[in-house]
Amino acid sequence: MLFRVADAFFEKLPTACFGVVIAKGIDNSRNYSDISSMLDTCIETAAERFGGKKVKEESDIIPYRDAFRTLGINPNKYMCSIEALFSRIAKGKGMPHINPIVDLGNAISLKYALPIGAHDLRNVEEIDVRPAVSGDTFLPFGGTEEEAPEEGEMVYTAGNQVRTRRWTWRQSEHGKIMEDTSTVFFPIDGFTDYNLGKVIEARDDLAKCLAVIFGCETTCGIVTSENPKMNF
């Protein structure tokens, strides 16, 4: 499995970094009370922190909004995933429990205030972060019709299959975590000049939880402008 971030991305966001966890041998068909409890605790903590506040003005969120603007993305229209999670909770809407892998990723995301994705790796050998090109397609989550991202939009891809649009905005139906998902790629997006330490803490915490709760194999890494790709 190769994870690679294009030079064109780092030219726009030179301090971006990506913590990576790959987990293999997960049984996502069971219920795990530890994960459910962890997510509930993180939701409660987030509600206490952000209740009645404007999430977009919080220090942990501002760097992502600034980065979105740098990438040509309007953060008022397309929120970074972590801002979207906190905004939902701040409005008293809570968060649904989906399945163990997704719930664990969301719990760690809330705990460290970082955007974290989760992608099923079946039949996938490479994941790239790069500008969208002609021929790329995206199937919206829950949708049935493919759409074409605008060329140049920063996306996560598996070949020409766009897995996440607008960097950390929204994931695709392709790569969705299902009950039979067993191998998962978790990217954790941050900045070397702002929250690199938290990215590494979140990465290691996530890897430990995966190993302890699921008893699965995990591999970790970090990708930066100085180390733009990793083989796992």
Q: Look at residue 144 and tell me if it is in a domain.
A: no
Q: Look at residue 226 and tell me if it is in a domain.
A: yes
Q: Look at residue 150 and tell me if it is in a domain.
A: no
**Residues in CB range of 70: below 8 A, 6 or more apart:** 12, 13
Q: Look at residue 200 and tell me if it is in a domain.
A: yes
The residue to which tokens 């920063």 are assigned: 154
Q: What is the pLDDT along the chain (232 residues), one digit of tens a residue?
A: 999 999 999 999 999 999 999 999 999 999 999 999 999 999 999 999 998 899 999 999 999 999 999 999 999 999 999 999 999 999 999 999 999 999 999 999 999 999 999 999 999 999 999 999 999 999 998 889 999 999 999 999 999 999 999 999 999 999 999 999 999 999 999 999 999 999 999 999 999 999 999 999 999 999 999 999 999 8
Alpha-carbon span 215 to 157, nearest angstrom: 28
Q: Look at residue 223 and tell me if it is in a domain.
A: yes
Q: Look at residue 56 and tell me if it is in a domain.
A: yes
CATH at 30: 3.50.40
Q: Look at residue 51 and tell me if it is in a domain.
A: yes
Domain extent at residue 8 = 2-125+164-231
Q: How many domains does the chain have?
A: 1
CA distances (Å), 211 to each of 119, 204, 220, 231, in order? 18, 11, 12, 20
CA distances (Å), 18 to each of 53, 152, 189, in order? 28, 20, 5
